């Protein structure tokens, strides 16, 4: 009986600690912090581990610090253009026109 109770408690604990990865897609032209340019929702400035941020079309203005936060925690795909910053680190981006 103790094993079943312990197993149930562990299962319950792990189910509450799971973080679901999300995909956020930016479309249009403008600032990163414009919620109306994001689908399905605005990711904010905290990117969780495993999240994916896609700059789908158009041009987004964002800081290098935010770019690094996304890269360090999740996946960053750029099909549009990154603007408003200087990429001086070792990360490489490909902009598709």
55 vs 95: CA distance, rounded Å:
10
Q: Is the CB of residue 30 less than 8 Å from the CB of residue 60? A: yes
Residues 9-22: what's their mean pLDDT? 56
Q: What is the pLDDT of residues 22-78, one digit of tens each?
A: 999 999 899 999 999 999 999 998 888 899 999 988 889 888 888 888 888 889 888
Q: What is the pLDDT of residues 72-94, one digit of tens each?
A: 888 988 888 888 765 444 444 44
* pTM score, whole prediction: 0.66
């Amino acid at each position: 009986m103790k094993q079943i109770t312990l197993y149930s408690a562990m299962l319950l604990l792990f189910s509450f600690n799971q973080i679901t990865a999300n995909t956020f897609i930016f479309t249009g032209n403008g600032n990163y912090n414009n919620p109306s340019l994001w689908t399905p929702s605005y990711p904010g400035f905290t990117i969780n581990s495993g999240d994916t941020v896609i700059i789908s079309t158009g041009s987004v203005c964002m800081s290098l610090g935010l770019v690094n936060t996304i890269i360090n925690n999740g996946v960053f795909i750029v099909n549009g253009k990154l603007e408003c910053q200087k990429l001086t680190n070792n990360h490489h981006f490909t902009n598709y026109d």
